[in-house]
Amino acid sequence: MIRYLPLMLTLGAIILFAKNMHAAEPIHLYIDADRTGAQASGIAIEQGIRVALDEVGNQIAGRPVKVMIRDHHGSSVRSKRHLKEYLSDDQALVVFSGLHSPPLLENLSFINEHQILILDPWATAGPITRYPSKENWVFRLSVDDTKAGAVIVNSALKEGFKKPYLLLEETGWGRSNHKNMTAALKQQGITPLGVQWFNWNLGATGAKIMLRNIIDSGADVILLVANAAEGKTFAKAMLALVTDEDQVSLPIRSHWGITGGDFPQVISVADRRQLDLKFLQTRFSFVSSTPTPLSTKVLSHSQQLFPNTIKTAADIKAPTGFIHAYDLTRLFIVAVTNSGLSDDIKHDRQTLRSALENIDQPIEGLIKTYQKPFSTFSNINIDAHEALSADDFVMAYFNEENNIVLDQ
């Protein structure tokens, strides 16, 4: 036995060294978002994550964190490729998703069946967090379309509109909003005058035809569900109808997808004066909300971390992505700290998922202080993986400096 002691000590040292080496390796945090068609949203999400991570020295539970950027261009196929990459990465702990709902909706079974831990700071389609399984692997801190449609509808009705027309993109996101908006209108005894569907990359001519039909229907407001690209197309088409054909400019009450790009830069202040446009947001703005000690600190930290791109609050483009990603990363950091990390990534993903459902200490964020933001999902607790509620949603508009101002 004694003669084997040096060998045993050597093997023990090797094992201990290997474990220590593993402990020093970074955990990988993936961001799978659109950094092409909706570039501003993808960058904003990354910035919010990096600021929150920098607050803790880019280390969690004794391990450094490495952010892995992936651009799915809005493609569900490309997104699935990134999800498979995550599965093959034995340091990959979590995936932050982006603005688009379709990549999540179309890959939802794959995500949950393969236990891919998704944190969603933007995509809003209702089914995303409601996969019919107790082990639901998607957590959201964003607008939830099962409630957003009603907020948009009720806000429009409160303004006095009575004859809405739905203008929706032909995707899972659009269909989700169709269901929820029509239900909200029905509760108020109103049937929309019509529903017009459109595809991504819509052209100017098609947009004009759709808007003419809506105007001719006698509608007094358009309820729009679109991203920035198509939102700009419809805005330009409405302006052209007003200028060239002396048509009336119908008010537009929109989902927030139009804020995920360069809408206010392309649709100028002068143009927007001819449009009556409001859109959904969550209840915090660096520009128009009363500053708190935390929001002041976060803005200052952002300016230090991104000195070339963030000089003032107005420089945070697509602020929704930044704000939600920052708050969600704070929840993530607490959950990882509570669950700890091991040398078994599958075990760590599982314990982190459970830790997210069992956060029991208050966590201050930009939008609010989160009290038990998540819980165990079931068919009688379908909002279990939603950190926000309808009380956190509000309408907003672009001011003359192209900043988003909450209408509250």
CA–CA dist 287, 321 (Å, integer): 15
CA–CA dist 30, 325 (Å, integer): 13
Distant-in-sequence, close-in-space partners of 246: CB < 8 Å, separation ≥ 6: none
First-to-final CA distance of the chain: 78
CA–CA dist 42, 35 (Å, integer): 5
pTM, two decimal places: 0.87
Topology (CATH) of 8-144+291-391 = Rossmann fold (3.40.50)
DSSP letters for 45-68: HHHHHHHHHHHTTTEETTEEEEEE
| The two domains 8-144+291-391 and 146-285+396-406 share their CATH topology (first three levels equal) | yes
Q: What is the pLDDT along the chain (408 residues), one digit of tens a residue?
A: 555 544 444 445 444 444 444 557 999 999 999 999 889 899 999 999 999 999 999 999 999 999 999 999 999 999 999 999 999 999 999 999 999 999 999 999 999 999 999 999 999 999 999 998 878 999 999 999 899 999 999 999 999 999 999 999 999 889 989 999 999 999 999 999 999 999 999 999 999 999 999 999 999 999 999 998 999 999 999 999 998 888 889 999 999 888 877 899 999 999 999 999 999 999 999 999 999 999 999 999 999 999 999 999 999 988 999 999 999 999 999 999 999 999 999 999 999 999 999 999 999 999 999 999 999 999 999 999 999 999 999 999 999 999 899 986
Architecture of domain 146-285+396-406: 3-Layer(aba) Sandwich (3.40)
Per-residue confidence (pLDDT) for residue 283, from 0 to 100:
95
Lookup: tokens for 126: 């209702």
Lookup: tokens for 221: 């407001």
| Annotated domain spans of the chain | 8-144+291-391, 146-285+396-406
172-187 vs 145-158: helix crossing angle, rounded to 10: 50
Per-residue confidence (pLDDT) for residue 37, from 0 to 100:
86
Strands 393-398 and 404-406: antiparallel
